[in-house]
Amino acid sequence: MIDDLIRPFTFVSALACGLMGGFFFAFSACVMRALARLPASAGIAAMQSINIVVINPMFLTVFLGTSALSVALSIFSLLRLEQPGATYTLIGSLLYLVGSVLVTFVFNVPRNNVLAALEPSKAEAASIWTEYVQIWTAWNHVRTIAALAAALSFSIALYY
């Protein structure tokens, strides 16, 4: 029974990691650059709104659902390391869990929480915003690379 689920779980994980990687990439390549070009108060207000809107069922289903699949696949892989593709499945799971999920909760979310408490029109907001954009985006690059590398690793696992 469990063996019958590994391949479809891996396929869905490959797709979902690619989707998350694209989502993160869009922020790194376009959204954060556009927000950084705005006056600080407008950029802050826009990002505050984005951080509220992103917490929705569609995003959370993909982001956290992929996390759950990655946990399950990592366990399945560890129990079947001798089987073809298991190592790639394990690597994909770890890349997503550490590079996307853990990075999100340890580096991006705390910065979002600081930003949420910030009054965009305050004098000190501009310097906080500049630092936020730089550091948040750098960690977002990590999430992008990790999610896309996880998608690749899951895809390679499907080859076996």
Q: What is the largest CA-CA distance in the chain?
A: 60
- pTM score above 0.85: yes
The string of DSSP codes covering 18-66 is HHHHHHHHHIIIIIHHHHHHS-HHHHHHHHHHHHHHT-SHHHHHHHHHH
Residue spans per domain, the chain: 2-159
Rounded to whole angstroms, how far apart are CA atoms 63 and 42?
27
99-146 pLDDT, tens per residue? 999 999 999 999 999 999 999 999 899 999 999 999 999 999 999 999
Structure tokens at 101: 């999920």
Residue 85 region by backbone torsions, left for phi larger than 0, else alpha for psi between -120 and 50, else beta: left
41-52 pLDDT, tens per residue? 999 999 999 999
Q: What's the gap between Cα 17 and its chain centre?
A: 8
Could you give the angle at the alpha carbon of 7 between the alpha carbons of 150 and 83, nearest 5°?
85
Residues contacting residue 22 through CB under 8 Å, at least 6 positions apart = none
Contact between 160 and 85 (Cβ < 8 Å): yes
